[in-house]
Chains A and B, each alone.
Chain A
Amino acid sequence: MTGTMAHQATAGNGAFVIEVEGLQKSFGAGDNRVAALRGVSFRVARGEFVAIMGPSGSGKSTLLHLIGGLDTPTAGSVRISGQDVGAFTDDQLTLLRRRQIGFVFQAFNLLDVLTAEENVALPLILDGVAEGEAQRRAAAAVELVGLAGRRRHFPRELSGGEQQRLAIARALVTEPLLLLADEPTGNLDSATSAQIMSVLRDLVDRRGQTILMVTHDARHAALANRLLRLRDGQLAEEQHLAPASRSPSRVLEDLETLP
């Protein structure tokens, strides 16, 4: 099992971290059958920051769950670093989630019986990393998101923004191929949301992290490099966004011509 998943894949077929082909997912049976995804295809390269938007019911969260190995497709394929995860056993999927993928959820989903540092170290502990080493790497991740002073606090003692930053640190601690964020700013106020988005943006810019983020807030999606719009379970639109080149003042000037 450890041999089949190359950590930080130098995948044979190019630098595509994610390849989704004709992905379909339906729930329920018979008259109650609901098609959440009806055939979605796209590819994500290393270092891309992809935002997924769409009205509720468009299947965006389902898409994320399928890519993250939390669910299995009804049809079509998901390839992570060239590996078709549709054929994975439960244990293989679990290892995928542990080593290759980091999750950030809207509800933070931290464990309240663990301190901040322990929460971050958890994926490493599950992987059998020695306690000392795990603690060291966790401390580094915690520092990266600026929470060094709060390492020994429990999640309930942290603010919403701090908790989400902690969740991000946890998602990063195994140096995953891919970070999946499901409405990461959904439970936060605008100031804190901006903070979180800046953390994510930083990860892409400075560390080349590949991020896939589902959001319903256009202002946050606008910080990504690429936008995928889902509608009724299908990819309605795709838009590449150029990186910043102009100073804020120039941007402001141009805006005078806006509707």
Chain B
Amino acid sequence: MSVKHAILGLLAKGPLHGYELKGGFEELAPTTELNVGQVYMTLDRLSRDRLVTYEVVNQAERPDKKVYALTEEGRKELKEWLATPSAIDLNLRNETFLKLMLARRLRGADPLKVLAVERRACFERLHEVAQAQARAEQEGIAVHSRLLLDLAALRLDAFLKWLDHCEDTLKKEGKR
């Protein structure tokens, strides 16, 4: 998750200070919790790269806060980022895969049993997600949450299909 570019995007609408940025980010991507320190680190780097500038605002009875704003360069960078396709995270080297491959090799380990266990767990998750989807519909939860739930469901479904496919392939291999 590119925090750097998210901050650029959040600043596009107007200057914000640190905490506002953290809040804005969490609103955008509800499943993540950002560390304040991470935010400031990123902001420092961004300002070093001249993508943002800041102003110091004096506050009575409070420490000074920095209000950050997008530079022209920053805007360009944002535009380019929006126009460039993102890397797709296929998560190919997941743990399940490792377990399966190892189980194939090891004597006394049954890859099919591994599969069954993984499948159960995956389905359990899917069950949760499906119910959440239904509730989200009913409770009128925000669109971006629902979209994420949908993505989760589809990914889990895809994963389950892959597990079934692994089973078929391993069984055929076993027969030979």
User: When A and B assemble into the complex, do they touch directly, with CB atoms less than 8 Å apart?
Assistant: yes
Is residue B41 contacting chain A, with contact meaning CB distance below 8 A? Answer: no
Q: A186-223 toward B: CB 8 Å interface, digit per residue (1/0)?
A: 00000000100010010000000000000001110011
Shortest beta-carbon distance from B160 to chain A in Å: 5
Expressed in whole angstroms, the Cα–Cα distance for A252 and B131 within the complex equals: 12
Query: What is the chain A residue whose CB lies nearest that of B153?
Result: A219
B123 near A227 with CB under 8 A, answer yes
Is residue A91 contacting chain B, with contact meaning CB distance below 8 A? Answer: no
Query: Which residues of A are found within 8 Å of B94, using beta-carbon distances?
Result: 259
Is residue A13 contacting chain B, with contact meaning CB distance below 8 A? Answer: no
Q: A121-134 toward B: CB 8 Å interface, digit per residue (1/0)?
A: 00000000000000
Within residues 125 to 162 of chain B, which ones have a CB less than 8 A from any CB in chain A?
125-137, 139, 141, 145, 148-149, 152-157, 159-161
A252 near B124 with CB under 8 A, answer no
Query: Which residues of B are found within 8 Å of A248, using beta-carbon distances?
Result: 132-133, 135-136, 139, 141, 145, 149
B126 near A219 with CB under 8 A, answer yes
Tell me the total A-B contact number using a CB cutoff of 8 A: 89
Q: B10-40 toward A: CB 8 Å interface, digit per residue (1/0)?
A: 0000000000000000000011100000000
Size bracket, chain A contacts: 20 to 34
Q: Which residues of A contact B (CB under 8 A)?
A: 55, 194, 198, 201, 217-219, 222-223, 227, 237, 239, 241-244, 246-249, 251-253, 255-256, 258-259
Interface size on B, residues (CB 8 A): 40
Query: What is the chain B residue whose CB lies nearest that of A237?
Result: B116
Query: What is the chain A residue whose CB lies nearest that of B154?
Result: A219
Expressed in whole angstroms, the Cα–Cα distance for A253 and B30 within the complex equals: 8
Shortest beta-carbon distance from B127 to chain A in Å: 4
Closest CB pairs A-B (n = 5): A244-B131, A259-B94, A248-B132, A222-B130, A251-B132
A239 near B123 with CB under 8 A, answer yes
Q: Beyond A198-B134, A219-B157, A241-B124, is A249–B95 a contact (Cβ under 8 Å)?
A: no
Shortest beta-carbon distance from A43 to chain B in Å: 20
